[in-house]
């Protein structure tokens, strides 16, 4: 029912549990910080399935729910906190290479990555030292780190995260150069590469579409709260 797409494969593990309804499916997973439940299907049937799972105690407070848009508005009986609306985008074709002020390289040092994230992407949950990060990439210019991104590939899917350009260097194409290089590296290994982007970040969405990330799953994320 999930279509065997990269979005489903990124979260499924040997320990996942799946639940099926008439027009929806949900499966368990885990992020680095919290239990996770992903769902696909029509909003009405997804809401019906999640209501049943909650009633039977199969999902508990603290779980992050990744739902089809429109589902949360139908879950009036569940205590929810809306987290964000985002898009899972992927491509099975490598983008063309782009030249830049310096080569894209694997980064060995964590301190300068943290400093760049603090200034250019402070809300990023992808940080040096996290166990699911395979490697960091970056572009140096004039000796300093101008852009960085993390390879967090999993489940046979190349996945890019934490893509950040220094505030003083934005608008110069560094994001395009970095994303293209990282995508081609991941594609060579997995044959498919994906990333996530906030639905309101229209500039980033235009960039990713130019690079071929046109396959899209719309996701509304909610946290399941304890009953008041």
Query: What residues does each domain of the chain span?
Result: 6-87+219-224, 93-191
- Whether the CB-CB separation of 181 and 108 falls below 8 Å is answered with no
Per-residue pLDDT for 3 more than 80? no
pLDDT of residue 132: 86
210 band by pLDDT with thresholds 50, 70 and 90: very high
pLDDT of residue 213: 97
Least Cα distance to 97 among 171, 151, 178 occurs for 178
pLDDT of residue 143: 72
pLDDT of residue 32: 64
What is the architecture, at CATH level 2, of domain 93-191? 3-Layer(aba) Sandwich (3.40)
75-89 confidence digits (pLDDT tens): 988 999 999 999 999
5-20 confidence digits (pLDDT tens): 899 888 887 888 999 9
109-157 confidence digits (pLDDT tens): 788 999 999 999 998 889 999 888 999 999 998 778 999 999 999 888 9
pLDDT of residue 125: 85
CA angle 198, 28, 47 (to 5 degrees): 70
The span from the CA of 20 to the CA of 195, in Å, is 27
- Round the average pLDDT of the chain to a whole number and report it: 92
pLDDT of residue 29: 80
Helix axes 174-190, 202-210, angle to 10 degrees: 50
Q: Are strands 158-165 and 35-41 parallel, antiparallel or unpaired?
A: unpaired
Per-residue pLDDT for 31 more than 70? no
Number of neighbours of residue 202 by Cβ within 10 angstroms: 10
The length of the chain in residues reads 228
The span from the CA of 124 to the CA of 127, in Å, is 7
Per-residue pLDDT for 102 more than 80? no
Instruction: State the average pLDDT over residues 38-50.
Output: 95
């Amino acid at each position: 029912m999930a279509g065997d797409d990269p979005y489903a494969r990124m979260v499924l593990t040997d320990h996942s549990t799946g639940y099926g309804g008439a027009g929806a499916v949900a499966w368990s997973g885990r992020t680095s910080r919290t239990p996770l439940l992903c769902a696909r299907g029509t909003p009405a049937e997804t809401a019906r399935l999640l209501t049943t799972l909650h009633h039977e105690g199969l999902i508990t407070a603290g779980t992050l729910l990744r739902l089809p848009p429109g589902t949360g508005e139908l879950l009036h009986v569940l205590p929810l906190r809306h987290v964000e609306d985002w898009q899972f985008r992927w491509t099975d074709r490598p983008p063309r290479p782009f030249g830049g002020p310096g080569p894209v390289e694997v980064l060995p040092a964590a301190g300068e990555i943290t400093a760049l994230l603090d200034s250019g992407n402070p809300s990023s949950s992808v940080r040096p030292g996290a166990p699911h990060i395979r490697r960091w990439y970056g572009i140096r210019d004039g000796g300093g780190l101008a852009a960085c991104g993390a390879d967090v590939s999993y489940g046979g899917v190349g996945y890019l995260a934490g893509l950040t350009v220094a505030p003083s260097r934005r608008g110069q194409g560094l994001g395009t150069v970095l994303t293209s290089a990282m995508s081609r590296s991941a594609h060579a290994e997995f044959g498919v590469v994906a990333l996530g982007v906030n639905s309101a970040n229209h500039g980033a969405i235009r960039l990713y579409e130019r690079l071929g990330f046109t396959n899209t799953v719309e996701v509304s994320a909610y946290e399941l709260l304890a009953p008041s």
